[in-house]
Amino acid sequence: MASLHTSFLNFSLSSFVLLLLSCSWYKVSWAHDGETVEIAVHSLLPETNCIPSSKGFDNHPSGKLQLVDVNGPCSPLETTPSLEEILHQDQLRVRSIHSMINKHVRDSKAKIPTRFGLPFKTKNYVVNIGVGTPNQNLWVTMDTGSSLSWILCKTCPNCRGLPFSPSQSSSYSNIACGSADCSQAYSATHHSPACRDACIYQTQYADSDYSVGFFARETLRLTPSDVFPGFKLGCGHDVKLRDSTSGILGLGSHPASLVYQTATKFGKVFSYCLPSSTNSNGFLAFGNQTGSTSPAVRYIRLILNPQNPDLYYVPLNGISLNGRRLAIPASTFSAHGTVIDSGTIVSYLPPSAYIILRNAFRAAMSGYPSATPPRGGVYDTCYDLSRNRTVTIPSIKLNFGGGIDLLLDQYSGVITNVGSYKFCLAFSANDDEEETTIIGSIQQKTYEVIYDVPRGRLGFRSVGATCN
């Protein structure tokens, strides 16, 4: 019978998966549409040893940088935030995004102690860049949710990042006050630049960190063959930054962003692959070598909003679980839009959509013991798998219409480890039904995500667990 054949096939595939997992570190990161895969629980636990990249920074091909999880064992930075701190930062970022979109802090529920237009900080993924002449190497945060790039130019209390020294660079120059370039600092940060002789930028974050300094031109080195003289960036002299990075690399769609400033060479095309496990590295790539012409890439519309040029919107219209589309009206997502973001960790849905997804997920996971969610209010659906050798995780797809669906990786894109053998559904609910949906970094893992800005499209290419 067909059902017997299917059961036998599923058993054989599961056995093969478990055999691979027991024999090596390799992780299988695929699932048939609508089917589930039995996974060894130990393979879901975070790794503690780094698997170094086979290529050093100076050997990377043109336009391609190594991307590192700032909180993983491969990170070169000294950072040990608690889970509660990480989730708190994630919530601050989400609320800042919503504040920017809504153009005002709607009420006390938003809990953002500042004005509209507040930039949002992320500490998730870092790349190494070179700045100045001679070159000074700095680790900076990659951020698709902001456009102004800035670097630390002076040591500061609580700052642990390596500062850039403009006095040691022959190519550094401040931008003149009142110039067209200076006005870009305002439109990119939503703060009027202070002016005397030189242009001064300022940006403030939801956690009370801030960066103030000169808006300047300096030589930027992405790789040895990708050098950009006269790149506009902030040089922070009055900075409060409670992490180990040396600044922000802004990849938004504003003219001040790296994407636009390097358009002559890279054509406003870039991509990234986020490492699916903390002990491996991903990449950030620029230009046509991203794989944008590959037949393996599936494209959806990329929507730019002139009112919010730092953000990239996509046409999400549904969610499926185990091959069945959930009863969520497409208007739930289209009414207020969906943003794809590299800096938000989990995906945030309208409350009505989240409840439907959560209830369906709980029903599919009813055979596993529940666990108390971690503090912070992000997760509410968690499981204790300490007594399970294997777990069958439901498949989840994000539906974008036109036959384009994104099947989330069942190892890294559906649930997340929150300590020991405790795992939680990697989605959360917005505070309000009218807030924008955000697709976070967890759901993007095992894919190269390609931003083709001139053609108005966003591509997904399955690359597996190792970002190949």
Write out the catalytic residue numbers: 143, 341
Given a contact cutoff of 8 angstroms between Cβ atoms, the answer to whether 237 and 213 are in contact is yes
Take residue 177 and report the two structure tokens written for it: 């006050």
Omega before residue 76 within 30° of 0, cis: no
Given a contact cutoff of 8 angstroms between Cβ atoms, the answer to whether 310 and 254 are in contact is yes
Cα–Cα distance, 462 to 292 (Å, whole number): 12
- CA dist 228 → 131, 143, 339 (Å): 10, 19, 29
Given a contact cutoff of 8 angstroms between Cβ atoms, the answer to whether 248 and 162 are in contact is no
Kind plus residue range of the DSSP H or E element containing 126: strand 125-131
Q: Report residue 100: phi and psi, to 5°.
A: -65, -45
Residue 440: partners with Cβ closer than 8 Å, 6 or more residues away: 90, 341, 344, 345, 346, 347, 348, 426
Q: Report residue 70: phi and psi, to 5°.
A: -65, -20
User: Of 183, 244, 240, 246, nearest to 215 (Cα)?
Assistant: 183
Residue 64: partners with Cβ closer than 8 Å, 6 or more residues away: 223, 283, 284, 285, 286, 289
Cα–Cα distance, 272 to 183 (Å, whole number): 30
Cα–Cα distance, 339 to 119 (Å, whole number): 15
Take residue 91 and report the two structure tokens written for it: 């919530």
Cα–Cα distance, 347 to 415 (Å, whole number): 11
